[in-house]
Amino acid sequence: MGLSRRKFTREFKESAVRRLELGASVGEVSRACEVSAKMLCRWREELRQLGAKAFPGPGQRREEADRLALLERKVGQQAVEIDFLRGCLQHVEEQRRLQALTTRGSSIRTSRSK
């Protein structure tokens, strides 16, 4: 049976970071909260960078990440469409060239035979 990951509430994370900001050492807080020092530092940094948007909860993605993922998908889809259309345009241009060559050749041949 595998180990399951522990889940911490937003309030728990905020209170642990608050203890750090009040002057407690990382070691003290990590032992008291039974989490790694690295995780505490990550929580503190996330709270500093995102403020109220930090710790959105399990299974929820940040709005910015969702928007970025949507835009990246659109860009990728448009790049595929552009590549496809370039190929189609190239094919049409080749067909026009061939048609122009065959048209010129036949008109020259008919004028010489007269």
Q: How do residues 45-60 score in pLDDT, each as one tens digit? A: 998 988 888 887 664 5
Interatomic CA distance for residues 73 and 78, integer angstroms: 9
**pLDDT tens profile 87-98:** 999 999 999 999
pLDDT at position 31: 93
Mean pLDDT, the chain, rounded, equals 85
Residue 54 region, left (φ>0) first, then alpha (ψ -120 to 50), else beta?
A: beta
Does 109 score more than 60 pLDDT?
Answer: no
From start to end of 6-112, where are the E strands? Answer: none
Distance CA 74, CA 66 (A): 12
The answer, yes or no, to whether residue 3 has pLDDT greater than 70, is no
The residues near 38 (Cβ < 8 Å, ≥ 6 apart) are none
Q: pTM of this prediction?
A: 0.47
Tokens of 90: 């190239």
Average pLDDT over residues 55-77: 80
Whether the CB-CB separation of 10 and 55 falls below 8 Å is answered with yes
For residue 80, pLDDT over 90 is answered with yes
